[in-house]
């Protein structure tokens, strides 16, 4: 019986303290804003977008408005905003994932959902495959819908997910005005003509050809490779092989 009364008193005391702390914190100004989850975005960019007054009260913060402001950043995919008592606002960002560097009517970065993002220099550009051509790139935040670019993205994503060797063999995919794609190898920029479509079997055949025929001789001895023919690979060698 006595233990039960003590337990009730402890629970009541804790509840009272929690209510008192919340009531007290409501009259405090925001002391800190923390930003979590950023990799390519500088947290100071997020803080500038929030732009809270130094005197705004913790209880007066409009979390939805902060979320709407941060969502305007072109590299933000989603964001959550929460209160951390007694006086901290916590912003958690999920960034968009850069998928390819576009070089067309201008330069831009494309994310995994085909959303156009502005170019940011630095580590973000490292190891990004390039898709080039005379195609138009829409405004930042819009979805890119261009058949040739879509085909190039399919090849990039398929090889990245299934075959690291092939994925790193190509440094650039160029969309031709006449249709089809030309890939350029990372070693010596050898053009590889892909045509209007490319199958998984052709990709596998190209990988085997590269490993068995090219590696031992050197990519510098190649002029071009053509994969546009069924069941064969046409290679032009500088040495006349």
**Does the pLDDT of residue 47 top 50, yes or no?**
yes
Query: What digits encode the pLDDT tens for the residues 155-206?
Result: 888 888 777 778 788 889 999 988 889 999 999 999 999 877 777 788 888 8
Last residue of a domain, one of 95, 110, 125: 95
Domain count, the chain: 2
Task: Say yes or no: 41 and 123 in one domain.
Answer: no
What CA–CA distance (Å, rounded) separates 109 from 127? 13
Is the per-residue pLDDT at 14 higher than 80? no
Which CATH number fits the domain that encloses residue 69? 3.10.20.310
Q: Which residue among 56, 78, 95 closes a domain?
A: 95
Q: Is 109 helix (H, G, I), strand (E, B) or coil?
A: strand
In a domain, 161, yes or no: yes
Average pLDDT of the residues in 32-45: 92
Same domain, 34 and 56: yes
Taking the model in full, what pTM does it have? Answer: 0.79
Residues 6 or more apart whose CB falls under 8 angstroms from that of 15 comprise none
Burial environment of residue 219 by CB neighbours within 10 A (0 to 12, 13 to 18, 19 or more): middle
Instruction: Output DSSP code: residue 187.
Output: T
- Same-domain pairing of 159 and 203: yes
* pLDDT at residue 9 in the model: 46
Give the other-Cβ count within 10 Å of 110's Cβ: 23
Give the per-residue pLDDT at 4. Answer: 54
**Is there a domain that residue 145 lies in?**
yes
> Is there a domain that residue 63 lies in?
yes
- The CA-atom distances, in angstroms, between 230 and each of 14, 84, 202 are 76, 62, 8
Task: Identify the CATH number of the domain in which residue 157 sits.
Answer: 3.40.50.11690
Measure CA 118 to chain center.
12
> Per the domain annotation, does 7 fall within a domain?
no
Do 43 and 130 fall within a single domain?
A: no
Residues in CB range of 189: below 8 A, 6 or more apart:
171, 172
Residue-wise pLDDT tens digits, 66-110: 999 999 999 999 999 999 888 889 999 999 999 999 999 999 999
Claim to verify: residue 152 and residue 63 sit in the same structural domain: no
pLDDT of residue 23: 52
The token duo for 110 is 């494309």
Tell me whether residue 14 is in a domain.
no
Task: Say whether both 125 and 143 belong to one domain.
Answer: yes
**Residue 10: what pLDDT?**
53
**What separation in angstroms does the CA of 190 have from each of 68, 146, 238?**
47, 25, 12
Last residue of a domain, one of 95, 113, 147: 95
Q: 166 is in which domain, residue-wise?
A: 98-237
Residue 102 and residue 91 in one domain: no
Q: What pLDDT, on the 0 to 100 scale, is given for residue 15?
A: 52
Cis amide bond preceding 17, omega within 30? no
pLDDT at 209: 92
């Amino acid at each position: 019986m006595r233990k039960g009364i003590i337990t009730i008193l402890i629970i009541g005391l804790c509840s009272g303290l929690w209510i008192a702390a919340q009531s007290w914190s409501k009259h405090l100004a925001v002391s800190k804003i923390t930003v979590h989850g950023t990799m390519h975005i500088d947290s100071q960019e997020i803080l500038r977008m929030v732009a809270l007054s130094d005197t705004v009260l913790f209880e007066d913060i409009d979390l939805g408005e902060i979320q709407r402001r941060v969502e305007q950043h072109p590299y933000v995919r989603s964001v959550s905003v929460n209160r951390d008592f007694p006086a901290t606002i916590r912003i958690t960002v999920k960034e968009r994932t850069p998928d390819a560097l576009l070089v067309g009517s201008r330069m831009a970065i494309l994310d995994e959902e085909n959303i156009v993002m502005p170019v940011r220099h630095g580590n973000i550009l490292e190891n990004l495959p390039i898709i080039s051509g005379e195609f138009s790139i829409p405004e930042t935040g819009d979805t890119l819908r261009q058949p040739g670019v879509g085909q190039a993205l399919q090849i990039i994503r398929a090889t990245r997910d299934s075959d690291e060797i092939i994925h790193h063999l190509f440094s650039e995919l160029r969309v031709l005005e006449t249709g089809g794609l030309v890939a350029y190898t990372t070693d010596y920029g050898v053009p590889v003509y892909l045509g209007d479509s490319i199958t998984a079997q052709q990709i596998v055949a190209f990988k085997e050809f590269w490993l068995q025929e090219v590696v031992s001789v050197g990519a510098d001895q190649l002029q071009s490779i053509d994969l546009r023919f069924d069941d064969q690979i046409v290679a032009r060698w500088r040495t006349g092989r």
